[in-house]
Amino acid sequence: MGGPRGAARLLLRFWSASLAAEMEYGVNAAVELLSVLGNLAGSLFVLSLFFRHGHDLGGWSWDQALVVLGIYTLLDGLTSTLLQPNLGALVTHVQKGTLDFVLLKPVDSQFWLSLRIVSPWGLPGVAVGLVLMAVGVVRAGTPPSLPGLALALVVLVAASLLLYSLWFVLAATSIWFVKVWNATEVLRATLVAGRYPISAYPAGLRVLFTFVLPVAFLTTVPAETLLGKASAPAVLAGLLVAGLALGASRLFWIFALRFYTSASS
Amino acid sequence: MAMIRALGLGKTFRVADKQPGLAGTLRHFVQRRHRDVPAVRDVSFSVEPGEVVGFLGPNGAGKTTTLKMLTGLIHPSSGSVEVAGFRPQRRQVDFLRRITLVMGNKQQLIWDLPPLDSLRVNAAVYGIDDAEAQRRIRDLAEMLELGEELRRPVRKLSLGQRMKAELLAALLHRPSVLFLDEPTLGLDVNAQARVRSFLAEYNRRYGATLLLTSHYMADITALCPRVLLIHQGSLMHDGSLAELTNRLAPCREVRLELREPLPASTFAAYGTLEDLQGRAVRLLVRRERLTASVARLLAELPVVDLEVAEPPIEELIGQLFRREPAR
């Protein structure tokens, strides 16, 4: 591939090809935009129900909760842009046996399988998420300092990598089970819990969303960092969990490939 | 130095041993039982640079498994394999740059886009700069007789055009070892011939080594001076197609038309009588005695017409496989 420049050139080719392919189906754009806006309206409505009666949501104000919702919308947009199309393609590769072509390319297979396709229809979600975050932060009246913003960015990137790792591991199990597409849908549905601050949930769910499905690290911790209300241990834990998950996804892929190369026919 | 070397190559798969029906499913779920099935056993051969070798065998004989071991897609259970000086299963970058795999039943081109877009991706994958990629595409397209098709979405191409574009995509990095699994599968006779002449030309021009499997004997006879015959996972023949024919069919069939009917006993001196219908006679004559027998037949009997037939290779191989039915 020839170092970072080669990788960048390849990524550019990957994405210009997949954008061209997506343009063959123009109606998708409208549908996807509608679905993002519909989802958002639903979430905003539910949020407003909580706050109308003066409840606070587990210690979060309306504006602060908007930041959480914004981060969720952003991550969901990224899911539609990169995770869903690529990891869907991985499942198809396994079903059709075309994974062989990927494995015979002089390119890291995890790189290829994670980034080959980009779908523009998730980008409205990303944009709406960013706007929501900005509005929430400004209205909450605690604009972050420049270092604070940088740290929040790092935590957000970590959250995205964590989400990616979960998806990738799940998609990689298709090497054994072939049909895992429903499992990723379940994951996506579970992550909907990340729309609201984690402290808004009952204690039992809070434990589940922190330690089993790390929803807390996906949206709540980044939002806290952005709002300057994060504790240092939470931020560190967020970074650590993301790092571990990424490493685990790598090891799991190597393990899956070892199985594939010894058992497939 | 040999380009491909396989030594005692073997592959055994573990397969689930499950009885049919619901009860069988449940029993299997509780107590999984597995069976080891050897797909390839003790296969040894070596291929020199620039050779074109045909890989023959019925479905399930172990051809694809062997090809996958040679490309490093599956790890051998036993024995060793070396391609272009590399151990394929390590899938090193320098190894992957030297080889290619073409599968007639699978495609790597992006379905919704013209082949040129996939070719641009492949150029980046192999780090080929744009000018060089353009030149290679032009050369290969000319050899393949591809033109405007490269600018049309793959889904709108005919099977033959698609296969040619697949070949172009698989050869853009100019590999020196080509593994081709049924490259002419499903193509019409013309397209088959085009692919065949292209492969011969590629071999000639770049000195590439080719190992191909095909169900179409015409591919093998046209391209492969040497064939490997694999059956039930074992190598049964390694040599020329003519040698294989001789081994499988030591006799030729001599068909005679006589001026008048003769008794059956007359023919014992010339060969084995296969069929006698009045003036039409069919004799089996061993190859090494063929010339002598034919000369004597013409000299000693009232022959009106004489014809020597070589049994078709498809039929011979078919007979061989029927003799030893697959498990």
pLDDT in tens, A40-74: 788 788 778 767 766 677 788 888 989 999 999 99
What are the structure tokens assigned to B113, written together? 């886009």
A146 touches chain B (CB under 8 A): no
pLDDT tens-place values along chain B, 327 residues long = 899 999 999 999 887 777 777 777 777 777 777 888 889 999 999 999 999 999 988 878 889 999 999 999 999 999 999 999 999 999 999 999 999 999 998 999 999 999 999 999 999 999 999 999 999 999 999 999 999 999 999 999 999 999 999 999 999 999 999 999 999 998 999 999 999 999 999 999 999 999 999 878 888 889 999 999 998 899 999 999 888 888 877 888 899 999 999 898 888 888 888 888 989 999 888 888 889 999 999 999 999 999 988 766 777 777 776 665 443
Q: A262, B73: Cβ pair inside 8 Å?
A: no
Contact B74, A262 (CB under 8 A): yes
Residue B66 inside a domain? The answer is yes
d(CA B159, CA A224): 57
Residue B319 inside a domain? The answer is no
Task: Encode chain B in three state secondary structure.
Answer: CCCEEEEEEEEEEEEECCCCHHHHHHHHHHCCCEEEEEEEEEEEEEECCCCEEEEECCCCCCHHHHHHHHHCCCCCCEEEEEECCECHHHCCHHHHCCEEEEECCCCCCCCCCCHHHHHHHHHHHCCCCHHHHHHHHHHHHHHHCCCHHHHCCHHHCCHHHHHHHHHHHHHCCCCCEEEEECCCCCCCHHHHHHHHHHHHHHHHHHCCEEEEECCCHHHHHHHCCEEEEEECCEEEEEEEHHHHHHHHCCEEEEEEEECCCCCHHHHHHCCEEEEEECCEEEEEEEHHHHHHHHHHHHHHCCEEEEEEECCCHHHHHHHHHHHCCCC
Domain that holds residue B273: 250-309
Asked if residue B41 and residue B58 are part of one domain, the reply reads yes
* Domain total of chain B: 2
Residue B37 inside a domain? The answer is yes
What residues of B are in contact with residue A265 (Cβ under 8 Å)? 13, 39, 64-65, 74
What are the structure tokens assigned to A13, written together? 């080719």
Q: Model confidence over A176-212: pLDDT tens digits?
A: 887 666 677 777 777 788 888 888 888 888 888 877 7
CATH of the domain at B181: 3.40.50.300
Smallest CA–CA separation between B55 and chain A, in Å? 17
Amino acid at A14: F
d(CA B283, CA A135): 96
What residues of A are in contact with residue B39 (Cβ under 8 Å)? 265
What residues of B are in contact with residue A101 (Cβ under 8 Å)? 101, 106, 108
The residue-averaged pLDDT of A15-27 equals: 82
Tokens 């050869």 belong to B171
Asked if residue B268 and residue B162 are part of one domain, the reply reads no
Residue of A nearest to B106 (CA): A98
Q: A103, B73: Cβ pair inside 8 Å?
A: yes
Q: Which of A14, A98, A100 sits opposite B121 (nearest CB)?
A: A14
What are the structure tokens assigned to B124, written together? 């980046």
Conformation bin of residue A183: beta by default, left when phi > 0, alpha when psi is -120 to 50: alpha
Asked if residue B152 and residue B239 are part of one domain, the reply reads yes
pTM: 0.84
Residue B318 inside a domain? The answer is no
What residues of A are in contact with residue B97 (Cβ under 8 Å)? 106
Asked if residue B205 and residue B116 are part of one domain, the reply reads yes
Of the three residues B223, B245, B267, the one that is the final residue of a domain is: B245
pLDDT of the residue at A1: 53
Of the three residues B203, B224, B245, the one that is the final residue of a domain is: B245
CA distances from B82 to B4, B5, B8, B10 (A): 6, 5, 12, 14
Asked if residue B37 and residue B133 are part of one domain, the reply reads yes
β-pairing verdict for B52-56 and B303-309: unpaired
Q: What angle do CA B13, B14, B16 make, to 5 degrees?
A: 135
d(CA B198, CA B170): 13
The DSSP annotation for chain A comes to --HHHHHHHHHHHHHHHHHHHHTT-THHHHHHHHHHHHHHHHHHHHHHHHHHTT--BTTB-HHHHHHHHHHHHHHHHHIIIIIHHHHHHHHHHHHHTTHHHHHTSSS-HHHHHHHS---GGGHHHHHHHHHHHHHHHHHHT-PPPHHHHHHHHHHHHHHHHHHHHHHHHHHHTHHHHS--HHHHHHHHHHHGGGGS-GGGS-HHHHHIIIIIS-HIIIIIHHHHHHTT---HHHHHHHHHHHHHHHHHHHHHHHHHHHHHHHH--
What residues of B are in contact with residue A13 (Cβ under 8 Å)? 120-121, 123-124
Asked if residue B292 and residue B237 are part of one domain, the reply reads no
Q: B93, A106: Cβ pair inside 8 Å?
A: yes
What are the structure tokens assigned to A21, written together? 């392919």
Q: A17, B113: Cβ pair inside 8 Å?
A: yes
Q: B101, A264: Cβ pair inside 8 Å?
A: no
**Cα pseudo-dihedral A67, A72, A75, A77, rounded to 10:** -100
- Which of A1, A5, A11, A13 to substitute to test the interface with B, most B CBs within 10 Å? A13
pLDDT of the residue at B232: 87
Beta-carbon contacts below 8 Å between A and B? 81
Q: Please indicate whether residue B236 or residue A22 has the higher confidence score (pLDDT).
A: B236
- Which of A111, A177, A265 to substitute to test the interface with B, most B CBs within 10 Å? A265
CA distance between the termini of chain B = 38
Using beta carbons and an 8 Å cutoff, which residues of B are at the interface with A?
Answer: 13-14, 39, 64-65, 68, 71-75, 89, 91, 93, 96-97, 99-101, 103, 106-108, 110-113, 117-118, 120-121, 123-127, 153
Asked if residue B263 and residue B177 are part of one domain, the reply reads no
Asked if residue B207 and residue B93 are part of one domain, the reply reads yes
What are the structure tokens assigned to B143, written together? 């050899």
Q: A265, B64: Cβ pair inside 8 Å?
A: yes
CATH of the domain at B272: 3.30.70
Asked if residue B236 and residue B137 are part of one domain, the reply reads yes
Q: A10, B120: Cβ pair inside 8 Å?
A: no
pLDDT of the residue at B327: 39
Asked if residue B83 and residue B30 are part of one domain, the reply reads yes
Q: Which of B14, B75, B108 sits opposite A98 (nearest CB)?
A: B108
The residue-averaged pLDDT of A214-228 equals: 91
β-pairing verdict for B234-240 and B226-231: antiparallel
Residue B317 inside a domain? The answer is no
Q: A100, B106: Cβ pair inside 8 Å?
A: yes
pLDDT of the residue at A222: 94
Q: A10, B125: Cβ pair inside 8 Å?
A: yes
Asked if residue B193 and residue B292 are part of one domain, the reply reads no
Asked if residue B201 and residue B286 are part of one domain, the reply reads no
Domain ranges of chain A: 3-263
Q: Model confidence over B93-116: pLDDT tens digits?
A: 999 999 999 999 899 999 999 999
d(CA A204, CA B251): 84
Q: B71, A104: Cβ pair inside 8 Å?
A: yes
Residue of A nearest to B67 (CA): A265
Residue of A nearest to B169 (CA): A101
